[in-house]
Structure 1
């Protein structure tokens, strides 16, 4: 395939798994992550195993103008991007007032602002393709407020709402927009978010990153609005929408309390 898939947060976890599965389908790849080492290792693996083209860029999306750097790289390479996967993101665990403010605003930059900027920059290019896709990665945390993950859950609710709105705005174009909302996944998220105290609990519900990636890509190619991997996560999202919010929030508070 001539089209390129641009994947942020491609170095590990779900992003890496999606890169591998898209490579199997013959897509060329433009990979973005903070770690150049992770990207180099992944690129070498992909080039050795599949007959595709792979470009990569180490970029910290928490920095201003990082999205423009990614866009300029794609423009410099003149790659025809037909898939944009906004997968980069992370969480911080703890009471809002006790967490470092700069760390929280940095998380907001990655989880929301970079996603918005990349979408805005690449939509004109995606529209030139016969068929194109945007896949934004939210979380099951998007469906309810989560005490001790207050800002993280709010950023993911933003991603979900934005994705649904953008989907309708682009419905008469060649660009399909989907939102992936995974639950607990074996990606290292718990450790990076500082949530070791609930690691054992999360491990009981963890899905494999490859399984989540497979469900995500299948849903994206079928132009689904929302993609929730795992039956338990589907039930959880359904309950959050239909059970009184105060009750759902108390359950979340008890699950993720420090």
Structure 2
């Protein structure tokens, strides 16, 4: 059977994507920090979709995480067909006031892990008749976002990496897609340190993880380059290409900075 590997699979969008891939007939390799949550998800996959699911609880921000995950994955299967680079988080606040160490930890998880893991697993993906890579970015990838400065920059990197790699692999068996969701009802705001008022504002336009995952899996298997779930998110991302950058940044700052 073909396997799909999902990082950050214990909750939110990653969890929902894992369940949908199981429904589509893939066995799962689930990776995140929480062993209990991964084990519960594996049991749900087995019960609901009759698919196998193996779990690896590890700190994905560790420097050697990609090597650890890749070695473990190759021990589980020689038929890896899907790689979902979903692990990541944001930090809210002014760059100079946030801890540099924590910001570097975020960059390690958001950028270096997916690059290293993709590089390590490409040989395995090439062995499968049809394979897919999904990198999870954000609508923040399309613009600079004051007070989420490094988070937005890391997601812009991931979007550019995805498009470049997609072109390099266009004549191969591997299709590369980038998912850029907007506000989603996950633990992102809590992890980013956002206040209650900002969380309440985001909740007004949030999509559910299940809705985002449905768009992600459908777009991935259809071979779409960029997947932006939700009409409002598509419109806002599209406007960033025609509205002057200074205006876009002022609008973003008006949303996020006023709550600092």
Q: Mark yes or no: TM-score above 0.5.
A: yes
The alpha carbon displacement at 1:78 in A equals 2.9
Residue 147 of structure 2: aligned partner: 148
The SS at the match of 2:146 is coil
Residue 214 of structure 1: aligned partner: 214
The separation in 1 between residues aligned to 2:127 and 2:218, in whole angstroms, is: 23
Q: How does 1:53-132 map to 2 (within 5 A)?
A: 53-132=52-131
Provide, for residues 18-52 of structure 1, a one-character-per-residue CA deviation record: whole Å limited to 9, x for no partner: 11111111110000011111101111111122221
The SS at the match of 2:240 is helix
The SS at the match of 2:241 is helix
Is 1:29–2:28 an aligned residue pair?
Answer: yes
- Kindly indicate whether the alpha-carbon contact (under 8 Å) linking 2:3 and 2:77 is maintained by their aligned counterparts in 1: no
Residue 41 of structure 2: aligned partner: 42
The separation in 1 between residues aligned to 2:58 and 2:112, in whole angstroms, is: 15
Provide, for residues 60-112 of structure 1, a one-character-per-residue CA deviation record: whole Å limited to 9, x for no partner: 11101101100110122234110000000000000000000100000000000
The separation in 1 between residues aligned to 2:24 and 2:239, in whole angstroms, is: 35
TM-score, with normalisation over the residues of structure 1?
Answer: 0.98
Residue 185 of structure 1: aligned partner: 184
Residue 198 of structure 2: aligned partner: 198
CA RMSD of aligned residues (A): 0.8
Residue 247 of structure 1: aligned partner: 247
The separation in 2 between residues aligned to 1:129 and 1:23, in whole angstroms, is: 18
Residue 135 of structure 1: aligned partner: 134
The SS at the match of 1:242 is coil
The separation in 2 between residues aligned to 1:152 and 1:94, in whole angstroms, is: 10
The alpha carbon displacement at 1:236 in A equals 0.4
Q: Is there any run of 5+ residues in structure 1 with no aligned partner, and where? A: none
The separation in 1 between residues aligned to 2:141 and 2:20, in whole angstroms, is: 26
- Structure 1 segments of 4 or more deviating over 3 A? none
Moved more, 200-209 or 189-198: 189-198
Q: How does 1:223-234 map to 2 (within 5 A)?
A: 223-234=223-234
The separation in 2 between residues aligned to 1:234 and 1:117, in whole angstroms, is: 29
